[in-house]
Structures are given as C-alpha cells and as structure tokens.
Amino acid sequence: MKRIMALLLSAALLLLALPALAQDMTLEDAIAKVRTTIEIDSALSEFSSSSSNSDGRTMWYLTWSSPENETYHEVSVGIDSFGVICSYYRYYESVITPRTYRSLKTLPELSEEKAIEIAREYLNKFVGESYSKFVFSKPRCSVESDAYCIYFPHYENDIPVEGSYAAFRIDAKSGTLMDYNLSSILHFTYPAPTSIKEAAEAEKVLGERSLRLVYMPFFSDNVITVKPVYTVSSQDYYDAFTLERIKNDIYFLYNDAVAREENASATASGGDSGKYIPTPQEHEEIENVANLITSAQGVEILLKMSELSFPDVTLYHENHYSTKPYYTNDTETKYYLNLSFESSDNDTTDTYAHANALLNAVSGELLSFTSYSDKDSDAPKITIEEAQKNAETFLTKYKGEKFARTRIAETENDESALTATFLYEEYINGIAFPSNHMEVTIDRTNGCVSSYSENFYENLVFTAAVDFLTQEEASQIAAENVGVNLMYFTRYENRETIVSLGYRYASDKGSYILGSDGTLLDYNGEPFDKGNAEAPALASDIEGHVCEDAAKALHAVGVYIKGDILNPDASITQGDFLMTLLMCRNYFSISDAEEAFEYAVQAGIVDAADKSLDSPLTREKGVQYIINMVGAKTISQLEGIFKTGFSDEANISTEHLGAVAIAKAVQIVYGSDGAFFPKRNVTRGETLIMLYNLLKNNVF
C-alpha cells in the first residue's frame, strides 16, 4: 500500500499544468520509446497500463511484472506525450536488498562519482535534448537507506527553476537504478532574461517593500517567547523586469482555533455520582461543564447574528470539548462548542449547503465560522469597498475590544470575484503582531459574512520598541547576509499557470533579522548557523594520514568529528566520541555533547554517572561504548569466556574485556604489534577507523 501511495504521489507531482499542446504519442509509441530506452527483463511477461490527460499532455503509466504465482518483480515507468520519461520504479527482491529498518548506517560499495555518472547516463536517455538543462548540485547528493539520492536542479537560460528537478536513487552496492522522478515544467515558454533589473536594485526594493518589522512568537520548552524581528520572506517575488510585487492567487492562513479543534478530544460526560465523592479536581470540572452553553443556546446565538451568511441548513452534529494550554504563558483551560450544519433536503434537491461554527463554550463568543452553498450565484452586487465596510461593521459589533487593537493588512481582492477577504492584525507598541489576527470573508452576492476566523495569544511579554533597527539598516543586513536569488517560478492568475522570472530573498540564509541588534535568526528564532546550511566540509588535515580513507568513507554517509580540522593524533573527548558514535545511527541528529550524552544514557551506551564530556577517553572504554551501542552490552559482561589474544590482555579492565574481545572478533579493532594498549587515550583518527570498521563489516 505504501508503494502504491508513493507512485500515486509521484504521478500527482508530474501532472503539473502545461500549455495546451497537441498530443502526439499513442500507447504503442510510449511502449516503443520505453523499450528502446530501458532494458526490461524478459521474465516480466505481464503488462498493464493506465493514462491521464491534463491540458493536452498525456501521461502513460506502464507496468511490467512477473507472472502470477512467482516471486513478485516489477518495473513501472511514466512517460509523457512529448516522449520524456518522467518516472521509474524498480522492485526486484533478488537484486535490491529489501528496505528494512537498520540501526546502523551502511557504507556504500559504489563511489559517489560512479553513482553520479550512472544517474547522468539515465538522465540523458530519459529527457533527451533537455539533458543540458539539468545541472548536478553537489550538496544535494547523499547516501540514505543503502542508496545514493542524487538531484539535478532544472535551469533555463542558466537560471534555476523553482521546484523543478530530476531525482534519482542509485543502489549504493550494485549501481542499479532503484527509482527516478522528474518534477519538471520543461514545456513552458520561459521569458528571456534580457533587460532585467540588476540584483543590487532588487535588493534595495526588497529591503524597502518585503522586509517588515513585526513581533513574532517562537515556541520552545512549552513557553512562547516574543521577539521583534524583520521577516525575511522567501515567498515574496518581485518581477525581474519591473520589480513590481507579483500577485499569486494561492493564499493560506493558519487558523489556530481550527487546529485546536482538530487536535482536541471530546470532554467526557459525567455519570451518576451515586455515593462517590468527587475529588477537588473532578468537582471543579463538573462545575465548569455544568455552566457551559448548550447546543441549543449556541444555535440561538448564531441565528441572532444576522450578519452571517447562513444557508438553509439543519444542525447535525455538536461537540463540547476542552483543551489544556500547550504553553505555560496561558494556564487557563479553554472550553469550546463546535456546531456543524448541513442541508436538510439533500434527498429532494440537488443543492448542497453546510455551515460550521466554533464558539467559546463559556462566553458564547464566536471564534470561527464558515458557510457554503453550491446554489448558482449571481454576479457581485456590492463593491470591494462596501464589502470591507460590512466586515468592519461586523467586527465592531461582535469583536469590538479585539478589533480596536488591529489594523487592516495588505490584501488583494479580485473585482470580479464573488467574495472578498480582509485580514486584520494586532499592533503592539506600534509594531504588527501578525500571529494575533482576525480574518473576514464577505459574500458579495448578499453582503453577509461567509467566513470568519481569529487567533489571539494572551499573556505574552513584548519588548518595548526602543532603539530597534531601521528599515534601511535591516535592508543592508539582508543584502549582505541573505541576498536575493533570480529564478523562474510558476504562479497562478485567473486559474491559469504562468511562468514568471523574478527576484526573491534566498531561502537558505536565515528567516528573520532580530530587530534589536541585527542577529540573523532561523525559523525557530535561534541564531542562524551558517555551518548547518550545507553539509560540513571534509577535514583539511587528513591527507596522507592512516585514517584518511576511513574519514572520507564516513563523511560520505554523514559521520564525522565536528570541526574544520580533525587533529587526527589528538585525544578525543567523551563528548566528541559520543556525538560521532551516535551519527552512525540512522535516527539520531545530535547538536552538541550534552544532547549526545542524554541520548547515549537513554540508549544504554553510557551510565548517567559516567559523565565527563571534556575528558579524554581510553581505548577500552571507547570500544565498550561501541559494543554497548550495537546491543551486545549484556553479552560483553559475561565472565570467564572471553580471550582477546592481545599481548597486553592482562592490562584490560575486567569490565571491558568482553567488549574488546568482541570488537577484535568482528574486526573493529586490530591492535598494534599484537598489543591493544587499553589504557591509552583513543585518538580522533583512531575513532574514525574503529567506526569505519564497524559500519564496513556490519555484522550487528
């Protein structure tokens, strides 16, 4: 089922909107193209196909599989009506190791260079004359789940095309193509980059129009911390020819109230109290629930709000529930009433309508509302300005105190659309706090509210607006540290897909600029670490060292000792050893030694009392950590059964003798001149060699 869903998702990615072109490939042509491009095993005698069409482009999905009652093998290929092979999936149990969970990473037998060469050869076959438009991006090649994941971003006129690429998975042992996906828009017409504005001019315009000083909430350790930041949005595009902001019809607004509703569970109802005396906590909840408004009262509240666009519907579901606060800034339990309505005459008419409302179950305040009817609508009867006036009349009447704290945000409404939407954001100390907002949609055929939502965080602390960076200062920081990218991207206008050429802020150089001192922050509100923006470079001082090959092989799978240089002959500390050791596990991502130690304790690698992060580690203890990690700790502690064969075995501590013996038996350690030197500090280079031997032999 997972594989089928993956193929369907892949197919969905391929069906990008394309300009209407004449279809010029039949099923017979598609089969011939694939068979002359890809070798299909003759044993796959079963064949099936399916197709889809979008805007003049047919996608054929061809599948060759093994006969019934035989071990199942399959090759599936997607090819479009332009003769471009867009997807490939190969499932061969006899060739490819089943993708099962492993606790340890696997070292590739195939070199990265060879894997890239294989992928290039396939790319040339699959996309033909468009081959030169895909340029390999070094940071995007990685080894995951026994395969190289190789990406070729798509360029037009030497300019990247957003979201367009060819992706390959090449088996890291055999070099077999495992799967391939082309998420691309090759057949569009791309505007030539002639007479476009210079990047420096774009930086100036983006700094003036795209950077915005706001208060932003960041969530950590169950606490909301508000920081004043300039937002560095990579979603704002400016036309490369005019530097005008480019409108995009797609707009999403997160509704926290709805999210709370989706995640909440219904409040359990109380039963017969009998002789049981409730606890104080139970009694408090009983009293709270007893005072909640009923569904009938909720319906009455809604019907009295004549400003709502309420179709002819009947209540079919109601739900009382409560939520505990997620963050300690707000400690009060919230109670909600959700009411859902739908047409009462579905069986006698083709018209369908529904409505949904979320109320504060204590006060009866409306928190969100939406309604819909598929009844044929007339043309708009009120202007955008009149719709805005209706929205603000509604907010003044029902949300007076909250509405008074807001200002209208920049919105784009189509004069011909049947609805108009208005967003209002709270301002504090003269600075926008967009997370606190309310949004109203007015039905322009009747002037009523067809949708309302809000989100308001309370009990937050805001830094006073004193000595914050000016717009010009923030713009300079963004220009120097973030920069702008010129790229092609698709946008949607009047339900049509259009390719545009525009500038935007780089998406991988930080998300915010701290308003107080200009520090570049990531999306979590933490100082942006440029070193984490891409894969760390290989240490510069390993050439010619005995650990060089091990260091390179481990680095390819994301195992390394942090730092620009290795100092291979220096002793390694406990903290650095544990960080590197845990990189050998597929599901660990360690940021520092403290976090590594916590994980190691949880995994049974080290005892909580054995913490000495900055101290050197002995060879015997380092080996013990490795054996503990692979699950052989209990066996290594058995007494009287282990012999290492090392000449200095008598110097090995009794508690580590089993671990050293196991490590030698599986060729993790070899010793030197017949000795192990158990009390000597393990070096940084020796650490990499031991871990390389662990992954290479892979006996656990």
Q: What is the predicted pLDDT for the residue at 24?
A: 64
Whether pLDDT at 366 is above 60: yes
Q: What rounded mean pLDDT belongs to the chain?
A: 84
- Range of lowest pLDDT (254-258, 398-402, 660-664): 254-258
Sign of torsion over alpha carbons 325, 331, 333, 334: negative
At 10, is the pLDDT very low, low, confident or very high (cuts 50, 70, 90)?
very low
Q: What is the predicted pLDDT for the residue at 100?
A: 40
Average pLDDT of the residues in 540-561 = 90
Whether pLDDT at 275 is above 70: no
Q: What is the predicted pLDDT for the residue at 122?
A: 95
| Cα separation, 520 vs 513, whole angstroms | 5
Percentage of residues in the chain with pLDDT exceeding 90? Answer: 55
| Cα separation, 31 vs 40, whole angstroms | 11
> How many C-alpha atoms does 455 have within 13 Å on its Cβ side?
16
User: Over the stretch 320-349, which tens digit does the pLDDT of each residue have?
Assistant: 888 877 777 777 888 999 999 998 665 555
Average pLDDT of the residues in 453-474 = 89
- CB count in 10 Å sphere of residue 155: 16
Whether pLDDT at 279 is above 90: no
DSSP 263: H
Contact 140, 167 (CB under 8 A): no
Q: Count, in order, helices (H) and strands (E) of the chain.
A: 17, 23
User: Over the stretch 93-117, which tens digit does the pLDDT of each residue have?
Assistant: 644 344 343 468 778 888 888 999 9
Q: What is the predicted pLDDT for the residue at 535?
A: 55
Pick the most confident of 219-233, 368-382, 485-499, 609-623: 609-623
- Range of lowest pLDDT (164-173, 282-291, 525-534): 525-534
Q: What is the predicted pLDDT for the residue at 634?
A: 93
Q: What is the predicted pLDDT for the residue at 51?
A: 83
Whether pLDDT at 71 is above 70: yes
Whether pLDDT at 65 is above 60: yes
The CA-based dihedral angle spanning residues 126, 129, 130, 135, taken in that order and rounded to the nearest 10 degrees: 90
| Cα separation, 248 vs 236, whole angstroms | 9
Q: What is the predicted pLDDT for the residue at 623?
A: 97
User: Quick one: which H or E segment has residue 260?
Assistant: helix 256-263
Contact 101, 146 (CB under 8 A): no
Q: What is the predicted pLDDT for the residue at 669?
A: 95
Count how many residues are written for the chain: 700
Average pLDDT of the residues in 667-693 = 95
At 253, is the pLDDT very low, low, confident or very high (cuts 50, 70, 90)?
very low
Q: What is the predicted pLDDT for the residue at 336?
A: 94
Residue 547's closest CA among 695, 665, 693?
693
- CB count in 10 Å sphere of residue 391: 26
- CB count in 10 Å sphere of residue 658: 23
| Cα separation, 476 vs 472, whole angstroms | 6
Average pLDDT of the residues in 500-510 = 89
Whether pLDDT at 4 is above 80: no
Average pLDDT of the residues in 260-272 = 39
Residue that wins the pLDDT comparison between 492 and 626: 626
User: Over the stretch 583-600, which tens digit does the pLDDT of each residue have?
Assistant: 888 655 677 899 899 999
User: Over the stretch 199-246, which tens digit does the pLDDT of each residue have?
Assistant: 999 999 999 988 999 999 998 877 889 999 999 887 789 999 999 988
Q: What is the predicted pLDDT for the residue at 330?
A: 73
| Cα separation, 201 vs 182, whole angstroms | 34
Q: What is the predicted pLDDT for the residue at 464?
A: 85
